[in-house]
Amino acid sequence: MAFSNFKKWAAYAKSFKLATDIFRLSISFPKEEKYSLTDQVRRSSRSVCANLAEAFWKRRYPKHFVSKLTDCAGENAETQVWLDFALQSGYITEESHNALTRQAEEVGRLLTWMMNNPQQFELRK
């Protein structure tokens, strides 16, 4: 089954929601974190979405496609580390941390499935 648009992929929709939720929550982070934690968690979460868009156009080459998905998974894992720092620093509640971490874990499961099944996304000639 070929997909015609990366925005229809569940991994994209869920990673976009996660990035949006992180952005909204990080607005309340202290100003001194603007160029460190705030910027890092926003960038890594948004990068998952951007790399999925790039992966969409690399579907003709399964190894390139999987490579971009691997980048997505790495950025998703980085996002989880920044969320851990936000919790440890007292910038987010444990409830928020758990909810965002669950979202990130779901994104990770979807990315893993995509990496293990690249033929499902192959660009048909």
Q: Per residue in 37-56, pLDDT tens?
A: 999 999 999 999 999 999 99
Q: Kindly list the structural domains of the chain, giving each domain's residue range(s) and its CATH number in brackets, ordered by start.
A: 10-22+32-118 (1.20.1440.60)
Q: What is the distance between the alpha carbons of residues 121 and 52, in angstroms, rounded to a whole number?
A: 12
- How would residue 123 be classed by pLDDT, with cut points 50, 70 and 90? confident
Rounded to two decimals, what is the model's pTM?
A: 0.92
Q: What is the distance between the alpha carbons of residues 94 and 88, in angstroms, rounded to a whole number?
A: 9
